[in-house]
Structure 1
Amino acid sequence: MSPRAGLTTDRLVRAGADLADEVGFDQVTVSALAKQFDVKVASLYSHLKGSQDLRTRIALLSLEEMADRVSTALAGRAGKDALAAFANVYRDFAREHPGRYTAARLPLDTETAAASAGPRHARMTRAILRGYDLTEPDQTHAVRLLGSVFHGYISLESAGGFSHSSPDTEETWVWIVDRVDTLLRTWPTTP
């Protein structure tokens, strides 16, 4: 790649993430990225190993961006306030960056996952749950519950699953967060 082009791995990954938001994560390839920069595909191989490498790097970037937002949103919050802030970050991120949100769900190999912001997400989720006095194994069950409920709703909403019915999706979202808070506050103790 010519130094004149000013392309770096970071710049390519960020452009790939932007492209994912525009056209969908499944449409992001090295070829599509080369076309966007008006360069030959082969010239990108000095920065990327291929389309899977590009997608993995976009996933890692997306996880990091979301973790930064969650961390900021959780500062000084506890209980239901922290739960709502946490949930809203994911929903807002999915609305603002649909391709990145999809990328963050990319399955990663064990080593890559361990080095990603994924464990940071898990620590922040567990920090929220400590405010509900959950112990193991209930805390792990609750981490999975939160991921399932919030990601499930966000996925259905982004696919237009609730667009033709009432009540308003915002009303349902608030209702869900309230009910999850109630569930966590009244979680039965495991003997």
Structure 2
Amino acid sequence: MSSPPDTRRPRLDQQAVLQAAETLVDREGYDALTMTLLAAELDTRVSSLYNHVANLEDLRASIQVRAMRLLGEHVRRAAMGHAGADGLRVLSHELRAFARSHPQRYAAITRPPIDREAFFGAAVDTIEALAVMVRSAGLPEERLLPTGMAVFAALHGFVSLEVAGYFGDVDDDLDAVYEMVIRGAVTAAVLEATHD
């Protein structure tokens, strides 16, 4: 005689809560995330969630930090063996690939950070990879930050419009358009490196 199936819910822990929150964000969007929706996703009570996260702001901060850390892992792997203008192109394509694969998490990391210290700690890999590329293009140390910010702003402009569906059914080759954006950003970085 077989025993009845185990109908107990899996025990909740912080990792399970955060993974479910990411699933919800991926499906519904970062702004749609609420404790009520997350509790429904996990088939549990809202009060049970507070054993694992302090509140909604804490949960959203964790989503931002985890997404930034994931982007950093992708960027670090992509950057290996590359430098200078070639490296900037590789990182540019990796940024776009990440945003297309995780559009809602990408949206989360481009919002003002809730937990700035944790967020920028998670961003170390991304920031350092970009710094290495612009540094290896010959940029002096004091120009690294503004140049890196300018490159990211140019790329983010295209990427955020693309993942938001702004371009719709445009017949033009968006890959070619993105290449133009990259060339502009890389050219600007290289020109900055040689600027007197």
TM-score after normalising by structure 2: 0.87
Residue 45 (structure 1) aligned with residue 47 (structure 2): no
The Cα RMSD (Å) is: 1.9
Confirm or deny: 8 A CA contact 1:8 1:47 kept in the other structure: yes
Partner residue of 1:113? 119
Partner residue of 2:24? 19
Matches within 5 A, 1:73-84: 73-84=78-89
Matches within 5 A, 1:81-160: 81-108=86-113, 109-114=115-120, 116-160=121-165
Please say which of residues 67-76 and 177-186 is displaced more in the overlay.
177-186
Flag structure 1 segments of 5+ consecutive residues without an equivalent.
none
- Secondary structure in 2 matching 1:187: helix
Confirm or deny: 8 A CA contact 2:68 2:119 kept in the other structure: no
* Cα distance in 2 for residues equivalent to 1:40 and 1:110: 30
- Displacement of 1:189: 4.4
Q: Is the alpha carbon distance of 1:159 and 1:135 closer, same or farther for their aligned partners in structure 2, counting shifts above 3 Å?
A: same
- Displacement of 1:188: 6.0
* Cα distance in 2 for residues equivalent to 1:85 and 1:6: 42
Confirm or deny: 8 A CA contact 1:14 1:58 kept in the other structure: no
- Secondary structure in 1 matching 2:192: coil
Confirm or deny: 8 A CA contact 1:138 1:190 kept in the other structure: no
* Cα distance in 1 for residues equivalent to 2:42 and 2:148: 41
Confirm or deny: 8 A CA contact 1:56 1:106 kept in the other structure: no
Aligned residues: 188
* Cα distance in 2 for residues equivalent to 1:188 and 1:8: 49
The percent of aligned pairs where both chains have the same amino acid is 29
**Equivalent position to 2:10, from 5, 8, 13:** 5
Q: Report the residue type matching 2:61 in the other structure.
A: T
* Cα distance in 1 for residues equivalent to 2:47 and 2:180: 51
Partner residue of 2:68? 63
**Equivalent position to 1:183, from 179, 188, 195:** 188
